[in-house]
A and B are shown apart, each in its own frame.
Chain A
């Protein structure tokens, strides 16, 4: 009986895997360019569906990892990240009850953070990465924060996502990018980004659909007081 119930619910639920998620990228920058980077992926609004998938042995012929396997693999990647030059104090967790993934690390410079992330991504992704990825700009120099990677997102990748049946449902998701400084922000190039009341933080909130349709929205600069 329990098995029948389980299989029935498990079969029906994952079919409509929701695209409800919240991604928060939170960067704190010091005057010397070093800082702290936090990444949070909140999938708690898809808990039932993720749990349904987790309860299956395989999906599309691919083995579904157990919660322990997921955690072990995640910690392995964090260790790899810790080994990258200019990256330290890496910690992270996967909350498998609410499905919230968190990563927290310190970096010497945004350039080293970028290099470390790209290197890790190449290690994880067995397929060849796009050459454009090396052209991504992420820097904080002379009181100017620059991020430029939207234009390097390959068109092929955008089209692939757009053609996905669930594309329109991505609208239900939320991506938040926050930059914090130890001094006041004087100017932000993005019209959609907001400056906090303290004037020391900038937040850009976009839906995944907006990012796919207009990846250039991810590219902006922030000028801080000298």
Chain B
């Protein structure tokens, strides 16, 4: 009996949750789901209510008379899911948030009186580019950003079609449609003529809308100007007359153009709202139904999850269509998906990020990940390092797999450009030692960040003569805290670099200086003004601004090496591993003097520390899995508390609540 009840409950909750997820159209490219039920189990509502960020936002929602201090009184269903998604189309981009509600009347009570009247009639609120729909179980808020570039293109085409006169400053310039309305710049959008002419009613609707609004006043106005200026006194200064006439005509033409464009946008907006409302009433083409991968992701249990499908965003990879191999790459990239699950644990926050590709690309990823992390690089992490990242891409293997998989596809193509690409690729492959090339790039590399360290730098100062107060420039030094960054690269051809250094030193003095076991780069290639050092030890190259590494630890920090337990984790990882200890970050920010009141800053953020581990956890046949683990300190019951407190402090410091940052 208990089992039946439990099954019914699960079925009920799934159906209910599904109802919100079903309101995601299949045209979106980014989705985020937050399981509010799971969140409030991690941080109870009574604790959430205590955060200043919540209190302050609640007070802004209500007037003093109806002040509330409990978010559960908002009418939101905290046992359901909050969903947000982003859509990107040629005409617009939009962000939608679906808030689950359990008490519609209570929820509506927080809107303005006028809005409440609309919502009580079950009508949507349409304000500027916002559409708010409050249904029985959810509130849907959509913010639409209309792309003026698209509409300016449409308007221009309509002007061309109707042989209407365009303003003079509207012209085609280096691939951009440009009209100089107060320096507003319109990017060119690719205009799909077919789509345009398919909608036969469209032009008529625009014309109707336009003439309804303007009642032919614009055209009459232009005629009036012609008449007015043709009747001018002949003695009138010709130049001024021409200038005034032109300026006035331009003004009218620009106004007319803008009005036509406004009409087009008005029609589009109207149609979009109708389509949007129709979808929410009958969400047939929803993502859950039409995308099996999203369905699988959505069914997983986690505190929050995201889903990203770049193929649904026309702005991404758009340019790829126009380059050689473009179509081929475009099709390949269109199979890429990313999704992630975020969970709050008692230790902190765990994010499992998945990158999915085509099976062909999966083969390449597997080959790239087949190399092991180079353990001998790890000894170059000093014990004072705040973080490091190590990776080893088997680039030779990846290249061979890439060739094996994709070259036959290109060879079999019917596209001349792809066939030419295949021919060039085969030629390069025949004549160049790709194994040697791929052994250099990308390299087996370790990057370390060792915090801020004082470095002696030179500056100019002035010395004053007490007799005359004449002053002279003198070279002095000062200490400055600089972030210490090191790159350690393993490459069997490291000796080549040393050959170049020797040659450069002979060719030009003052660029590189040879010390006992390392080189100092005297002429700062980055023009920052800090010294850099190079060292080459067998097949290891060290590039750093931390002199301690090359001066005293050329063989590695053996006796003062980094935490051994982290070494073990790094050794187990595949292809990539990074570790970051954030316990010093607040102190470093305070040292840099970014905030005026360092005490206040430290009191807020000193305990918001965590250790972060990021690695490639596994590689499947078409999927690479990343794991991000944020271990907070023991002060926090779980990762959600840590995140809430961090958000709270950032909110407070940005709003100057401490008084340390007078506005």
> Which residues of chain A have a CB within 8 Å of any CB of chain B?
1-2, 4-6, 8-10, 12-13, 15-16, 18, 20, 22, 24, 26, 40, 42, 44-45, 47-48, 51-52, 54-55, 98, 100, 162-163, 165-169, 176, 178, 180, 196-198, 200-203
Residues of chain B contacted by A201 (CB below 8 angstroms): 468-469
Q: A16-B592, A42-B462 are in contact. Are A9 and B483 (CB under 8 A)?
A: yes
Q: Which of A12, A100, A178, A202 contacts B592 (CB 8 A)?
A: A12
Q: Which of B443, B462, B468 contacts A196 (CB 8 A)?
A: B468
Shortest Cβ distance from residue B527 to the other chain A in the assembled complex, whole angstroms: 5
The answer to whether A200 and B528 touch across the interface, beta carbons within 8 angstroms, is no
Residues of chain B contacted by A178 (CB below 8 angstroms): 469
The answer to whether A197 and B596 touch across the interface, beta carbons within 8 angstroms, is no
**Given A44-B461, A163-B661: 8 more A-B contacts, CB < 8 Å:** A5-B543, A47-B459, A51-B527, A55-B528, A167-B596, A178-B469, A196-B469, A201-B469
A104 to B353, CA, bound (A): 61
Q: A1-B543, A5-B485, A98-B459 are in contact. Are A166 and B530 (CB under 8 A)?
A: no
Residues of chain A contacted by B595 (CB below 8 angstroms): 165
Residues of chain A contacted by B480 (CB below 8 angstroms): 18, 48
The answer to whether A55 and B468 touch across the interface, beta carbons within 8 angstroms, is no
The answer to whether B528 and A13 touch across the interface, beta carbons within 8 angstroms, is yes
The answer to whether B489 and A55 touch across the interface, beta carbons within 8 angstroms, is no
| Cβ-closest chain B residue relative to A16 | B592
| Residues 465-478 of chain B, each 1 if its beta carbon lies under 8 Å from chain A, else 0 | 01111010000001
The answer to whether A8 and B468 touch across the interface, beta carbons within 8 angstroms, is no
Q: A12-B592, A16-B592, A180-B469 are in contact. Are A1 and B462 (CB under 8 A)?
A: no
Residues of chain B contacted by A44 (CB below 8 angstroms): 458-461
Shortest Cβ distance from residue B454 to the other chain A in the assembled complex, whole angstroms: 12
Residues of chain A contacted by B589 (CB below 8 angstroms): 15
Q: Which of B468, B478, B483, B525 contacts A13 (CB 8 A)?
A: B483
Shortest Cβ distance from residue A213 to the other chain B in the assembled complex, whole angstroms: 15
Q: Which of B461, B468, B482, B593 contacts A22 (CB 8 A)?
A: B461
The answer to whether B460 and A24 touch across the interface, beta carbons within 8 angstroms, is no
The answer to whether A54 and B594 touch across the interface, beta carbons within 8 angstroms, is no
The answer to whether A5 and B467 touch across the interface, beta carbons within 8 angstroms, is no
| Residues 536-564 of chain B, each 1 if its beta carbon lies under 8 Å from chain A, else 0 | 00000001010000000000000000000
A-B contact pairs, 21 of them (CB 8 A): A1-B445, A1-B487, A5-B543, A13-B528, A16-B591, A16-B593, A40-B462, A44-B458, A48-B482, A48-B528, A51-B528, A162-B662, A165-B661, A168-B596, A180-B468, A180-B469, A196-B466, A197-B466, A201-B468, A202-B469, A203-B464
A154 to B560, CA, bound (A): 57
| Cβ-closest chain A residue relative to B589 | A15
Residues of chain B contacted by A198 (CB below 8 angstroms): 467-468
Interface size class of B (residues with CB under 8 A): 35 or more
The answer to whether A1 and B593 touch across the interface, beta carbons within 8 angstroms, is no
The answer to whether B663 and A15 touch across the interface, beta carbons within 8 angstroms, is no
B500 CB within 8 Å of chain A: no
B278 CB within 8 Å of chain A: no
Listed residue (A15, A47, A163) with the most chain B CB atoms within 10 angstroms of its CB: A47
| Cβ-closest chain B residue relative to A200 | B468
Residues of chain B contacted by A26 (CB below 8 angstroms): 471
A10 to B457, CA, bound (A): 17
The answer to whether A9 and B485 touch across the interface, beta carbons within 8 angstroms, is yes
A136 to B661, CA, bound (A): 32
The answer to whether B596 and A6 touch across the interface, beta carbons within 8 angstroms, is no
Shortest Cβ distance from residue A2 to the other chain B in the assembled complex, whole angstroms: 8
The answer to whether A100 and B460 touch across the interface, beta carbons within 8 angstroms, is yes
B86 CB within 8 Å of chain A: no
Residues of chain A contacted by B529 (CB below 8 angstroms): 47-48, 51
> Which residues of chain B have a CB within 8 Å of any CB of chain A?
443, 445, 447, 449, 457-462, 464, 466-469, 471, 478, 480, 482-483, 485, 487, 489, 525-530, 543, 545, 589, 591-596, 661-663
A167 to B660, CA, bound (A): 12
Residues of chain A contacted by B487 (CB below 8 angstroms): 1, 4-5
| Cβ-closest chain A residue relative to B524 | A51
A79 to B148, CA, bound (A): 42
| Cβ-closest chain B residue relative to A40 | B462
A55 to B526, CA, bound (A): 8
Shortest Cβ distance from residue B605 to the other chain A in the assembled complex, whole angstroms: 15
Q: Which of A9, A196, A200 contacts B526 (CB 8 A)?
A: A9
Shortest Cβ distance from residue B660 to the other chain A in the assembled complex, whole angstroms: 9
Residues of chain A contacted by B596 (CB below 8 angstroms): 165-168
Residues of chain A contacted by B478 (CB below 8 angstroms): 20, 45
Shortest Cβ distance from residue A157 to the other chain B in the assembled complex, whole angstroms: 15
**Among all A-B residue pairs, the 3 with the closest Cβ atoms:** A16-B592, A44-B459, A44-B460
The answer to whether B483 and A15 touch across the interface, beta carbons within 8 angstroms, is no
| Cβ-closest chain A residue relative to B527 | A51
A163 to B447, CA, bound (A): 39
Shortest Cβ distance from residue A165 to the other chain B in the assembled complex, whole angstroms: 4
Q: Which of A9, A16, A200, A203 contacts B594 (CB 8 A)?
A: A16
Residues of chain A contacted by B469 (CB below 8 angstroms): 178, 180, 196, 201-203
The answer to whether A4 and B447 touch across the interface, beta carbons within 8 angstroms, is yes
| Cβ-closest chain A residue relative to B595 | A165
A197 to B445, CA, bound (A): 63
Q: A163-B662, A197-B466 are in contact. Are A15 and B594 (CB under 8 A)?
A: yes
The answer to whether B464 and A1 touch across the interface, beta carbons within 8 angstroms, is no
A77 to B200, CA, bound (A): 59
Shortest Cβ distance from residue A26 to the other chain B in the assembled complex, whole angstroms: 8
A6 to B524, CA, bound (A): 11
Residues of chain A contacted by B593 (CB below 8 angstroms): 16, 18, 166, 169
A203 to B462, CA, bound (A): 14
Residues of chain A contacted by B661 (CB below 8 angstroms): 163, 165
A32 to B483, CA, bound (A): 55
Shortest Cβ distance from residue B487 to the other chain A in the assembled complex, whole angstroms: 5
The answer to whether B663 and A163 touch across the interface, beta carbons within 8 angstroms, is yes
A200 to B470, CA, bound (A): 11
Shortest Cβ distance from residue B249 to the other chain A in the assembled complex, whole angstroms: 30
